[in-house]
């Protein structure tokens, strides 16, 4: 199975900066990248990045999606709208949305369902806070978060992507050790296997201060199928180095 490296630009970018970044990524990915590569960009830039990546293997992702299909939901963006702009993936349940926008497990599950219904692959983020880890609750938390998505999405569950993102590692420069990450990935793998009931392998990405220096050792773990990369996805050279580590 090919690994997937997905960049999460968060609320960063400008027309000029995106132009330079995406052109550098497209150039750096010429030939066979050896893995799947995507950038999840702020919604206003979807059209720009869609044009810039045309003809390349770079895929387009969004950072969130509405659980509703259309209607009086000011400020929301539907999965069908994302689809019209060539979006292949959307992040759902990023810890910043759970924390700052009060997104619950049930809402995240609905968002995953809306994405799947439109033919977009949801990248479902799960992860514990530092307090939860220190209290020995990591497994319980990630299993609860994933269970909600499994419950709401039934037989479609093999179509999702999961990203294990320990909250304490996001944007902090603190990375889970390869062993710590692998331990949680194995738990999630077992949960997904039990839910899918067959051998379909769901991608489980690691996210949390992944960078050019630590990517290779994380990606060498048996249950780490790629990365969700925040800060390091804003620098073409760093992101391309992570992509190369995923070959
Ligand atoms: C993220 O935003 O999903 C993330 C993992 O960020 P960072 O790589 O900056 O920790």
Question: Which is catalytic among the residues 94, 96, 103, 203?
Answer: 94
171-178 long-range contacts (CB < 8 A, ≥24 apart) are 171/209, 171/230, 171/231, 172/208, 172/209, 173/209, 174/208, 174/209, 175/208, 175/209, 175/210, 175/211, 175/214, 175/218, 176/206, 176/208, 178/217, 178/218, 178/220, 178/221, 178/224
Residue 229 tokens read as 């990369």
Instruction: Report the atom number in ligand 1 closest to the C-alpha of 232.
Output: 8
Between the two ends of the chain, the Cα-to-Cα distance in Å is: 11
For the chain, give the mean pLDDT.
95
- 198 has a pLDDT exceeding 80: no
- d(CA 75, CA 20) in angstroms, rounded, equals 28
- Enter the DSSP assignment of 149: H
Report residue 214's pLDDT band, with 50, 70 and 90 as the boundaries.
very high
pLDDT at 201 (0 to 100): 85
- 160 has a pLDDT exceeding 80: yes
CATH number at residue 76: 3.20.20.70
The four Cα atoms 143, 168, 58, 93 give a dihedral, to 10 degrees, of 50
pLDDT at 31 (0 to 100): 85
Closest residue CA from atom 7 of ligand 1: 230
Per-residue model confidence as pLDDT tens digits over 37-93:
999 999 999 999 999 999 999 999 999 999 999 999 999 999 999 999 999 999 999
Cβ-proximal residues to 75 (8 Å cutoff; 6+ apart), any chain? none
30 flagged as catalytic: no
Ligand 1 contacts (CB < 6 A) are 8, 10, 165, 170-171, 207-210, 228-232
Q: To test ligand 1's pocket by mutation, which of 171, 172, 214 has the most ligand atoms within 8 angstroms of CB?
A: 171
**Residue 42's domain spans which residues?**
4-245
68 flagged as catalytic: no
Domains contained in the chain, number: 1
Per-residue model confidence as pLDDT tens digits over 20-47:
999 999 999 998 778 999 999 999 999 9
């Amino acid at each position: 199975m090919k690994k997937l490296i997905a960049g999460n630009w968060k609320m960063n970018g400008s027309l000029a900066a995106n132009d330079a970044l995406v052109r550098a990524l497209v150039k750096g990915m010429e030939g066979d990248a050896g893995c799947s590569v995507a950038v999840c960009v702020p919604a206003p830039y979807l059209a720009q990045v869609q044009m810039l990546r045309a003809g390349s293997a770079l895929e387009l992702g969004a950072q969130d999606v509405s659980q509703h299909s259309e209607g009086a939901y000011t400020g929301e963006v539907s999965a069908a709208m994302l689809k019209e702009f060539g979006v292949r993936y959307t992040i759902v349940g990023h810890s910043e949305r759970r924390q700052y926008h009060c997104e619950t497990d049930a809402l995240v599950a609905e968002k995953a369902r809306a994405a799947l219904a439109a033919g977009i692959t949801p990248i479902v983020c799960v992860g514990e806070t530092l307090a939860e880890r220190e209290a020995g609750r990591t497994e319980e938390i990630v299993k609860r978060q994933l269970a909600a998505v499994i419950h709401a999405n039934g037989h479609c569950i093999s179509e999702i992507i999961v990203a294990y993102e320990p909250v304490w590692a996001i944007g902090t420069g603190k990375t889970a050790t390869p062993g710590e990450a692998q331990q949680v990935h194995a738990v999630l793998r077992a949960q997904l296997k039990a839910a899918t009931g067959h051998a379909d392998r769901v991608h489980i990405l690691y996210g949390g201060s992944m960078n050019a220096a630590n990517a290779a050792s994380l990606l060498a773990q048996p249950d780490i199928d790629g990365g969700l990369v925040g800060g390091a996805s804003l620098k073409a050279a760093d992101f391309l180095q992570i992509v190369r580590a995923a070959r």
